[in-house]
């Protein structure tokens, strides 16, 4: 008889119920097996295999260069490390815009080849065809509005979005469109807290914020940022829960010192 404790998987339905009960949803990014396993066992509800992998894993300046094959590689590593969390994968730039058939093929490849549970894509009315077509295959879709980093060359800056009336109004409309199309949740990135709270109240699906204040249904951060691995990125919305930059630098310089001084390995650390 197995003594392993059954872990109940978080599903899109769980998230819907959490919103109804007023329970906050905790989401973080992960891109590899080892950290996904740590994040999952620590109790996270949703793991996002974000295209921020392009920045934090590959060192690119933007999220644009990462490919579908690379996202599938990261996603399948995360899925292997994950027993409880819902795993959502970003559709990378160029794999869903302006071509709903292509979007469906990209989403199917992610689901089939990585074993993930849902996809996320950026934009509102302009990607609605793609959202609807992906949903026809029974693939859950998470929307993403506000600051959408794949459009950085259109915005020209990473400043707060939707501060002006016209853009705020468009965001309200897009949130409704995505809900009506059948998205199971929405990410709102870097918009005024009051607008984000209003959108969260106006839709039935969970709204997860990043830099969108506390009035939404859940929060997401990039794992490497909240663990303090990246020292250079310091937006106001970021809370650091560790200083891994310091911890790792100290550990590695200690190792270098011990190897050079012949302190490592000692008599007990050899055969």
The residues assigned a catalytic role are 189
Sign of the C-alpha dihedral computed for residues 104, 133, 71 and 150 taken in this order: positive
Check binding of 217 to ligand KIV (CB under 6 A).
Answer: no
Interior CA angle at 111 toward 83 and 94, to 5°? 125
Location of structure tokens 């989403």: 107
Quick one: angle between helices 128-136 and 165-181, nearest 10?
Answer: 20
Q: In the chain, what is the greatest distance between 2 CA atoms, to the nearest angstrom?
A: 70
Q: Which residue, 119 or 222, is less far from ligand KIV as judged by CB?
A: 222
Q: Which range in 49-57, 81-89, 161-169, 236-244 contacts ligand KIV by CB under 6 A?
A: 49-57
Q: How far is CA 267 from the centre of its chain?
A: 46
CB of 52 to ligand KIV, least distance (A): 3
Contact (Cβ atoms closer than 8 angstroms) between residue 145 and residue 175: yes
DSSP state of 158: -
Check binding of 218 to ligand KIV (CB under 6 A).
Answer: no
Check binding of 134 to ligand KIV (CB under 6 A).
Answer: no
Q: Work out which of 12, 29, 130, 150 binds ligand KIV, going by CB under 6 A.
A: 29
Q: Work out which of 39, 118, 127, 222 binds ligand KIV, going by CB under 6 A.
A: 222
Check binding of 45 to ligand KIV (CB under 6 A).
Answer: no
Check binding of 199 to ligand KIV (CB under 6 A).
Answer: no
Stretch 73-92 residues interacting with ligand KIV (CB under 6 A): 90
Q: Which residue, 150 or 271, is less far from ligand KIV as judged by CB?
A: 150
Q: Which range in 1-9, 16-24, 47-55, 195-203 contacts ligand KIV by CB under 6 A?
A: 47-55
Which residues are registered as beta bridge partners of 46? Answer: 27, 86
CB of 90 to ligand KIV, least distance (A): 5
- The rounded distance, in Å, linking the Cα atoms of 268 and 271 is 8
Check binding of 46 to ligand KIV (CB under 6 A).
Answer: no
Contact (Cβ atoms closer than 8 angstroms) between residue 115 and residue 85: no
Check binding of 52 to ligand KIV (CB under 6 A).
Answer: yes
Q: Which residue, 19 or 144, is less far from ligand KIV as judged by CB?
A: 144
Q: What is the 3-state secondary structure (H, E, C) of 82-93?
A: CCCCEEEEECCC
CB of 116 to ligand KIV, least distance (A): 14
Residues 6+ apart with CB under 8 A from 90: 48, 49, 50, 51, 63, 71, 119, 120, 121
Which parts of this chain interact with ligand KIV (CB under 6 A)? 29, 48, 50-52, 90, 187, 189, 210, 220, 222
């Amino acid at each position: 008889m197995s003594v392993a404790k059954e872990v109940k998987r978080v599903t899109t339905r769980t998230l819907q119920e959490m919103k109804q009960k007023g329970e906050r949803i905790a989401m973080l990014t992960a891109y590899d097996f080892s950290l996904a396993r740590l994040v999952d066992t620590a109790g996270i509800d949703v793991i996002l295999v974000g295209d921020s992998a392009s920045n934090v894993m590959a060192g690119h300046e933007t999220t644009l260069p990462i490919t579908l094959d690379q996202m599938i590689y990261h996603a399948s590593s995360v899925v292997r490390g994950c027993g409880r969390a819902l795993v959502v994968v970003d559709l990378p730039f160029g794999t869903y815009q302006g071509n709903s058939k292509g979007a469906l093929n990209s989403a199917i490849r992610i689901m089939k080849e990585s074993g993930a549970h849902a996809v996320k894509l950026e934009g509102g009315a302009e990607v609605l065809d793609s959202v609807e077509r992906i949903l026809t295959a029974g693939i859950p879709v998470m929307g993403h509005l506000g600051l959408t980093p794949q459009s950085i060359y259109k915005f020209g800056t990473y400043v707060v979005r939707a501060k002006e009336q016209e853009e705020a109004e468009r965001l309200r409309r897009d949130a409704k469109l995505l809900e009506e199309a059948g998205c199971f949740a929405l990410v709102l990135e870097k918009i005024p807290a009051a607008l984000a709270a209003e959108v969260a109240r106006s839709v039935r699906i969970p709204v997860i914020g990043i830099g969108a204040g506390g009035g939404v249904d859940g929060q997401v951060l990039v794992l490497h940022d909240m663990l303090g691995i990246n020292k250079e990125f310091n937006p106001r919305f970021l809370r650091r829960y560790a200083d891994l930059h310091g911890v790792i630098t100290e550990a590695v310089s200690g190792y270098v010192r011990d190897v050079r001084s012949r302190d490592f390995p000692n008599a007990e650390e050899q055969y």
